[in-house]
Amino acid sequence: MNAVEIDGIEIFSVKKFSDHRGFFCETYTRRVHPDRDFVQDNISMSADAGTVRGLHYQAPPFPQGKLVTVLSGAVFDVAVDIRRSSPTFGRWFGLELTSERMNQILIPHGFAHGFCTLAPNTLVFYKADALYSSAHDCGILWNDPELAIAWPVGPQRAILSDKDRGLPRLCEIETPFDYRG
């Protein structure tokens, strides 16, 4: 695990055991995450580089914490602190996750999450600690100018869903999350 400048986000490096056949690794073990009760696994596949998914979060009572791993390809992964009264409210943290490195990011409750694919046919796998609830599905506009996220793709080249293209800016939402220090 590595430290990051925003309280709550954690970065993990997964050990890969390689030989002439390929590799083996454990992407999750209760020993490393004893306080996490993951209840749902998800996979997203993005055919084209430049696909942006997010920035998504689920509101209480179904907030989702996520452990994100790239199984094939690479992404620029982003977490935005949306916890009221947090010293880092509105700040973002981003890093490149790749299948080659098998690095992971833990996105806790109180963060909006999104990514941009850096390679075609990228597979992203994530464990969630709450079930998906469409009634609590929320988001923030991926390129909100107040966030100033350094995405690797501009608005003209980004591939987005209609839903993600129409999300509100951070200043237009009432965040349901509080910072607990």
Q: Let me know if 126 is a catalytic residue.
A: yes
Cα 117 → chain centroid: 12
Q: Identify the H or E element spanning 57.
A: strand 52-58
Which two three-digit tokens encode residue 167?
């999300």
Tokens representing 114 are 């999104």
Distance CA 81, CA 91 (A): 6
179 is a catalytic site residue: no
- Residue 72, class by beta-carbon neighbours within 10 Å (0-12 exposed, 13-18 middle, 19+ buried)? middle
Q: Which of 28, 56, 109, 113 is catalytic?
A: 56
Which is the catalytic residue, given 20, 126, 132, 179? 126
What are the residue numbers of the active site? 56, 126
